[in-house]
Structure 1
Amino acid sequence: MSEADARLQDMELPTALYESTDDGYLATALTIGPWDAGLQHAGPPAALLLREAERAGAIEGGQTVRMAYDIFAPVPVGPVRITASVVRPGRRIELVETVLTAGDERPLMRLSAWRMRARSDGAAPEPPAPHPAASGPEESRRELAAFFTTEVAYHRALDWRFPTGSFNSPGPASAWTTPRCTLVAGEPMTPLQHLLVMTDAASGISAVLDWTTATFANVDLLVSLHRPPRGDWLGMDAVTTLGGTGAAQCTAVLFDAEGPIGRSAQSLFVEPR
């Protein structure tokens, strides 16, 4: 056990990423990102925006199949508010938009979520495809990101297991995760919320640049699913490609223990620190 993990055993970690308030939510220390201790990792607010989109949707038992996030500015660690609206209502298909604000009400993140009625289409399902990870979570290596500036931060919100690659060395990587906390205090984290908490870290696990000399923050996140995630363990197989012009792209195959469930993509802004 590392010295940092030994110290952590004596700490009292938050049990949730957010606590409900009278007019929104209060972010806990588990939302802290790697770039600045006062700013959130984009994964937790992405999940919070998804939670509000599903609550605002009118399709009972619907499934969210595409989530397109725009990240306008970093989200501070503190109180946040979310507004929701149904842009395109429908009994079978709907488009829901949620917007996150803090302080001066300037939009910081926006989600456009396409949701569909869940039903059997009558076609025989294909045999489950194997997940793309080299091994399952039990056989994979547990690892903690070494580049966070505070010990209690986003990297403690999930249990990370790496079949291939690493948080702490460059190149493509695959990782399994399971939650160590809830999204909102007092309610369980759904598999889809868990997926969103995790997926924004695809560009972190597959980083090709040194965190200490370069920034490569994403300005968006696109998640497209052909079926909902299931189970306690979810994974991603990620790769980042530099464009040589100050831009990069990260793509990932998303999966659970039963096989692939969809894909994600992120556009990265790259510059020296």
Structure 2
Amino acid sequence: MVDLITLTALEASSYYNHLGGDRYESTVHAQGAWNPHEQHMAPVAGLMVQALEQFQHRDDMRLARINFDILGLIPAGEFSLKTTLLRPGKTIELLQTELLAQGRPAVRATAWRLQKNDTTAIEFYEDEPLGSLEDSVPWDGMGRWPGGFIQTLEGRSLPEHRAGHGRAWLHSPYTMLDGGEHASALVRLIGLVDSANGVAARMEPEPGGWMYPNVDLSIHLYRDPVGEWLGLATHVTIGSDGIGLTSSVLHDVNGPFGRSEQILTVRPIPHAQ
């Protein structure tokens, strides 16, 4: 990990540098937890959502479901994003964006974009609200994980937080792209969601233990989020045959706004060669 961290990289205030057009470069702040030469899926998701959000933008529609398939290790360094419209429509559209690195697609995301209508007369939420940000306390539990991305996070936990049953708030002061401007609340908060798998980890990521990376990230949004803090009410389930699931209700400072699911491949951490 040390050989990837230069003084210039450490001074960066963003997860990515925009190289022009559809080309980008990750900074050390986007570095993953499982391998030093890969990107963490959390900022990747945020950047891909920004591409989806801006593609042929329509004020009368918004993103409602985003499904990311992680096709392999996401290499650090230069990459491109290719965004297309798979299914056009007046009220329903299906978009796709791919992260292309080292000659292959590393992540593919599809997103339903739906027409907005005034439903305030029947608005209702069944998901239980997370404890407020004001009721939380400083928490450094994410510090158990290595990698540049985790080091960018500020965490706060609630009294009922425990392994397998996460109740935490996360925030990052870093911008998604260089230039100093913060992205939309949707991009900022989706850029933290993949952290859920580490917030409520049941096992420590240590030699001789278990690894449990997710191979997908599926997000459903029943309202547009606001603010800069992401609240995670997370449950982690591990089956008997090497497959697990991290499930979260997503919150902003106003309450729940959606859900996320991450399917896990659970296996022993390989011994160092």
TM-score norm. by structure 2 comes to 0.87
- 8 Å contact kept, 1:137–1:161: no
Equivalent position of 2:158 in the other structure:
163
Equivalent position of 1:72 in the other structure:
71
Gaps of 5+ in 1: 1-10
- 8 Å contact kept, 1:156–1:180: no
**2:192 counterpart of 1:191:** no
Compute the displacement of 1:68 (Å). 0.5
Compute the displacement of 1:194 (Å). 1.7
Equivalent position of 2:267 in the other structure:
271
CA distance in structure 2 between the aligned counterparts of 1:226 and 1:247, rounded to whole angstroms = 28
Equivalent position of 1:149 in the other structure:
146
Quote the RMSD (CA, aligned, Å): 2.2
Equivalent position of 1:226 in the other structure:
222
Gaps of 5+ in 2: 1-8
CA distance in structure 2 between the aligned counterparts of 1:76 and 1:138, rounded to whole angstroms = 38
- 8 Å contact kept, 2:64–2:111: yes
Compute the displacement of 1:177 (Å). 1.9
Equivalent position of 2:3 in the other structure:
none
CA distance in structure 1 between the aligned counterparts of 2:213 and 2:130, rounded to whole angstroms = 25
Equivalent position of 1:55 in the other structure:
54
Higher mean C-alpha displacement, 259-268 vs 49-58? 49-58
Candidates 4, 18, 21, aligned match of 1:20? 18
CA distance in structure 2 between the aligned counterparts of 1:124 and 1:170, rounded to whole angstroms = 36
CA distance in structure 1 between the aligned counterparts of 2:220 and 2:159, rounded to whole angstroms = 23
TM-score norm. by structure 1 comes to 0.87
CA distance in structure 2 between the aligned counterparts of 1:247 and 1:142, rounded to whole angstroms = 28
**2:199 counterpart of 1:205:** yes
Change (3 A) 1:160 1:13: farther
Letter in 1 for 2:241: T
Q: What is the correspondence of 1:41-190 to structure 2 with a 5 Å cutoff?
A: 41-104=40-103, 106-121=104-119, 123-126=121-124, 132-137=129-134, 139-143=136-140, 145-150=142-147, 153-164=148-159, 170-186=163-179, 187-190=181-184
Higher mean C-alpha displacement, 32-41 vs 245-254? 32-41
Q: How many residues align?
A: 257
Equivalent position of 1:241 in the other structure:
237
CA distance in structure 2 between the aligned counterparts of 1:26 and 1:129, rounded to whole angstroms = 40
- 8 Å contact kept, 2:141–2:199: no
